[in-house]
Chain A
């Protein structure tokens, strides 16, 4: 008995260690799962808020005059709304990318304006997709304007490509105008 004692003790210790490791892995997975849930909840909340801002902004543009004429005028986001969207950071980009798919001109124009306010490299990909693949020339035109708010070194190749390859002449003209007007350091003419 005495001879088996130490061996059994080692086995017991190994089992305990294994249980501990398994327990820690479970806890870690649970924590990750919890974190993922939290993130989902947070994104849902942001989606709700941004939807609300877009809806309210568009509603403000639908008015009835004192003479009883119903009219839809443009409605730009208020500064406080822009600030709120900007405060959501990258999460807002994810949400707004979905709104870019809208066929409603007022909705996607507003979405692009909010993306422009967010700025940064993060807005390049969703706007690039519109510029390159969307079938609406008008939508591509507005996406070109919005992408100027991204870092110029990221935006410039996309605008340039559009100026050269977009099937719509008006879109190409808009792209050329943006290239000329929004380049931070106008290129000097080539040296002989």
Chain B
């Protein structure tokens, strides 16, 4: 049910009574009935580890985001050796209930008892168990739930395992995302033995009529059929039955257009292509071209290379569904195993209205001689109205058994999940379960990622993805290679499944109060599941409707044992360091997610007391005292209003304090007599030698216990300074582990003879600096002054700090 209050009123309510922080608790009752059949992820509600933060709750009591959603696919089949499985995934952090309805081909309704899914749970249901009679062996399927947009998603997978045939259809909500009563699609046949079927299903409760038009590759009409569909009726037909010339074979490729008399989203349709002899199967869902909002299509995860010992061939077929000539430009953006990146340009393709053409993808990839591609993405753009071009792409093995579909989507459109993804992944023998992420813009983007596994959380954290780049994530690889996450944790070696969640962030050029635009949808992603032995693969793309919304933030400091704790105040000696990190907690349709905000700006109030690097490393500088450390960045809050999300800029400003202990004075601990070593050759000299043991103290007068500091001095003799610069003088030249050093020998040698009674003296003054290794501002001036009276027969040492300490040895006149 949509709220019909005036938008400003709703906005102000939402903004000032922050719905994202409402304290609605998690739904408590988890003892709901078990699903009828459960294939994977048994007891797979994965507990999310919270990192010593206040327990956050996910909720909303807002009518804007809670509404009835009806998802559907046009066709299922459990007849004649086919099986169909419904996979439902609950992205929400709370329990959700789903109502499943099967509609027979003629539109008869079969309600299935509601199923309940725990938070982040995925379940697979075999439709065969629900089908009571032959009537319901084929038809269409609806899933409805009450809650926020996109939190419940799923796929319907029709398989004939013995033949290696699979058709995967993702549940979609046509009433929400379709904007016209026109659907466009196409087909491509790998051989003339291929079978083609088209399913057209009336999604609505009202009868309607459908015009189905077929076109040859040049866009010339091959045939037209008019079909009347009762409520929820599904019509299956072979295209060659409606070709005007019955003797004519269906061409290798062509187009299909459906116009219906119902409301936008009332009809769903898909083209099913199969060659059972080869195990080839492929599905091309028809799309509403008016739902597109930009003239660009992106596909994440084009497989290049070999699979199961067979070379893969890449196919991309494009169709102009617009009214004018246009030029299609494309490219393959790839990254190799040794991290080399590149772009393979696809020659421009001129498409006349209605024309369907193979863009020659395999040829350009082969000609590029690029090897060892680990991840690749496809990009197409054209000059023309958004939605004027459809492109269908796949990689198929030489034998035809392995088919990997690459959905090409208009990322800017709401009809496709973008900027986030929620996938259940599993590790199994002979199974490839990969996640592809693609940046669909021409500049770098940032995204966060976390993986829940039974008993833990693995947080790769905030990552950068370069312009156009496709990244690949493999749970098995992360586990087997023990790749550490941002906290240095690795996935346990016995992990077999996980729930991967990623989110991109983009609020470019938006100001608070504006709605998210198409160009803020910057990344797409999908999960690909492939059984390499059976030759069955499927793709799915689930995500949230809105970008993650800022919820909370704080600063953490790393402890000596490597763990992290909340930072508000810490003590630091000059030259010592402490690593800080800014933590951000976001909330999206899947719940909260905490990660290190690597884009935080750091600043120190007084660099002379402590400096801080751009990565948050604080170094105690030469001046002691209290110092504030600041972290600030721009975050975004997204309010799920109406059909889109409203942006609210949120400036995060955090601070903590560092108390710096710095060397501030040299305190004499003892003065003792020592051998001055006055030369006796060629002329006899003598003097009274002593040594001073100094302690370095901090501003509070406490010993500054640090080794490796180098005391430096300048001195004057009877008022004449020895040097303009400071020199090291201690023996050894650096402090010991207690921050002590020895000034030895002190004293002056006077020309004399062994039996003289003379006692000449000079006045010596020492002033000091201290070099502290790896410390900003070093060397630091030390205000201590040592005044000496060096005589032939004695020495007086006066050390002046806040007070004067005097030592006299021997005879000093």
CA distance A178 to B649 in the complex (A): 60
A138 contacts B678, C-beta separation under 8 Å: no
A186 contacts B732, C-beta separation under 8 Å: no
Which of A25-33, A90-98, A104-112 participates in binding chain B? A104-112
A60 contacts B722, C-beta separation under 8 Å: yes
Interface string of A104-135 (1 = CB under 8 A from B): 11100100010011000000000000000000
Within 8 A of B (CB), among A38-87: 60, 63, 65-67, 69-79
Contacts of B764 in A (CB 8 A): 73
**Neighbour of A182 across the interface among B725, B729, B737, CB < 8 A:** B737
CA distance A19 to B731 in the complex (A): 62
B732 contacts A71, C-beta separation under 8 Å: no
A149 contacts B732, C-beta separation under 8 Å: yes
- Does chain A have a CB within 8 A of B176? no
CA distance A114 to B658 in the complex (A): 38
CA distance A180 to B723 in the complex (A): 34
- Does chain A have a CB within 8 A of B679? yes
Expressed in whole angstroms, the minimum distance between the Cβ of A154 and any Cβ of chain B is 15
CA distance A59 to B278 in the complex (A): 97
CA distance A71 to B717 in the complex (A): 9
**Neighbour of A145 across the interface among B677, B727, B732, CB < 8 A:** B732
20 new A-B pairs (CB below 8 Å) besides A73-B790, A76-B728, A145-B731? Answer: A60-B723, A69-B718, A70-B751, A71-B760, A72-B685, A72-B687, A73-B762, A104-B679, A105-B678, A106-B677, A116-B732, A145-B732, A145-B742, A146-B732, A149-B733, A178-B736, A180-B736, A181-B707, A183-B737, A184-B707
Supply 20 A–B pairs (Cβ within 8 Å), ascending by A: A65-B717, A65-B762, A66-B719, A70-B750, A71-B790, A72-B678, A72-B679, A73-B715, A73-B790, A75-B722, A76-B729, A77-B727, A79-B727, A104-B679, A106-B677, A113-B728, A113-B733, A148-B734, A149-B733, A186-B737
Most A CB atoms within 10 A — which of B707, B732, B742, B751?
A: B732
**Neighbour of B717 across the interface among A63, A146, A180, CB < 8 A:** A63
B748 contacts A72, C-beta separation under 8 Å: yes
- Does chain A have a CB within 8 A of B671? no
- Does chain B have a CB within 8 A of A142? yes
- Does chain A have a CB within 8 A of B802? no
B722 contacts A178, C-beta separation under 8 Å: no
CA distance A109 to B679 in the complex (A): 13
Within 8 A of A (CB), among B667-693: 675, 677-679, 685, 687
Contacts of A67 in B (CB 8 A): 718
B760 contacts A69, C-beta separation under 8 Å: yes
Contacts of A145 in B (CB 8 A): 731-732, 742
B718 contacts A181, C-beta separation under 8 Å: no
Expressed in whole angstroms, the minimum distance between the Cβ of A101 and any Cβ of chain B is 15
Beyond A76-B728, A148-B732, A182-B737, whether A106 also contacts B679 by CB under 8 A is yes
B727 contacts A73, C-beta separation under 8 Å: no
A72 contacts B749, C-beta separation under 8 Å: yes
Expressed in whole angstroms, the minimum distance between the Cβ of A107 and any Cβ of chain B is 9
Residues of A at the B interface (CB closer than 8 Å) are 60, 63, 65-67, 69-79, 104-106, 109, 113, 116-117, 138, 142, 145-146, 148-149, 178, 180-184, 186
Expressed in whole angstroms, the minimum distance between the Cβ of A157 and any Cβ of chain B is 17
Contacts of B734 in A (CB 8 A): 148-149
Contacts of A186 in B (CB 8 A): 737
Contacts of A77 in B (CB 8 A): 727
**Neighbour of B675 across the interface among A74, A113, A138, A184, CB < 8 A:** A138
CA distance A63 to B2 in the complex (A): 96
B720 contacts A63, C-beta separation under 8 Å: yes
- Does chain A have a CB within 8 A of B740? yes
A78 contacts B717, C-beta separation under 8 Å: no
Contacts of B728 in A (CB 8 A): 76, 113
Instruction: Kindly report which residue of chain A lies nearest to residue B693, judged by CB atoms.
Output: A177
A142 contacts B731, C-beta separation under 8 Å: yes
- Does chain A have a CB within 8 A of B164? no
Contacts of B707 in A (CB 8 A): 181-182, 184
A181 contacts B736, C-beta separation under 8 Å: yes
Instruction: Kindly report which residue of chain A lies nearest to residue B760, judged by CB atoms.
Output: A69
Expressed in whole angstroms, the minimum distance between the Cβ of A54 and any Cβ of chain B is 14
B749 contacts A71, C-beta separation under 8 Å: yes
CA distance A184 to B685 in the complex (A): 40
- Does chain A have a CB within 8 A of B738? yes
- Does chain A have a CB within 8 A of B745? yes
A79 contacts B725, C-beta separation under 8 Å: yes
Contacts of B750 in A (CB 8 A): 69-72
Interface string of B347-372 (1 = CB under 8 A from A): 00000000000000000000000000
A105 contacts B737, C-beta separation under 8 Å: no
Contacts of B727 in A (CB 8 A): 76-79
Expressed in whole angstroms, the minimum distance between the Cβ of A152 and any Cβ of chain B is 11
Instruction: Kindly report which residue of chain A lies nearest to residue B735, judged by CB atoms.
Output: A181
Top 3 A-B pairs, shortest CB-CB distance: A181-B736, A105-B677, A72-B749
Within 8 A of A (CB), among B155-178: none
A105 contacts B748, C-beta separation under 8 Å: no
CA distance A106 to B719 in the complex (A): 23
CA distance A60 to B722 in the complex (A): 8
Expressed in whole angstroms, the minimum distance between the Cβ of B351 and any Cβ of chain A is 70
Expressed in whole angstroms, the minimum distance between the Cβ of A39 and any Cβ of chain B is 31
Expressed in whole angstroms, the minimum distance between the Cβ of B705 and any Cβ of chain A is 11
B718 contacts A65, C-beta separation under 8 Å: yes
CA distance A107 to B750 in the complex (A): 18
Contacts of A184 in B (CB 8 A): 707
Expressed in whole angstroms, the minimum distance between the Cβ of B797 and any Cβ of chain A is 15
B677 contacts A71, C-beta separation under 8 Å: no
Instruction: Kindly report which residue of chain A lies nearest to residue B731, judged by CB atoms.
Output: A145
CA distance A182 to B762 in the complex (A): 34
Instruction: Kindly report which residue of chain B lies nearest to residue A117, judged by CB atoms.
Output: B733
Contacts of A69 in B (CB 8 A): 718, 750, 760, 762
A73 contacts B675, C-beta separation under 8 Å: no
Contacts of B736 in A (CB 8 A): 178, 180-182
CA distance A164 to B687 in the complex (A): 32
B745 contacts A74, C-beta separation under 8 Å: yes
Beyond A72-B679, A76-B727, A77-B727, whether A181 also contacts B740 by CB under 8 A is yes
**Neighbour of A105 across the interface among B679, B718, B738, B746, CB < 8 A:** B679
Expressed in whole angstroms, the minimum distance between the Cβ of A143 and any Cβ of chain B is 11
Most A CB atoms within 10 A — which of B731, B745, B751?
A: B731
A73 contacts B748, C-beta separation under 8 Å: yes
CA distance A63 to B723 in the complex (A): 13
A78 contacts B722, C-beta separation under 8 Å: no
Expressed in whole angstroms, the minimum distance between the Cβ of A111 and any Cβ of chain B is 13
Expressed in whole angstroms, the minimum distance between the Cβ of B731 and any Cβ of chain A is 5
CA distance A186 to B762 in the complex (A): 42
CA distance A71 to B749 in the complex (A): 6
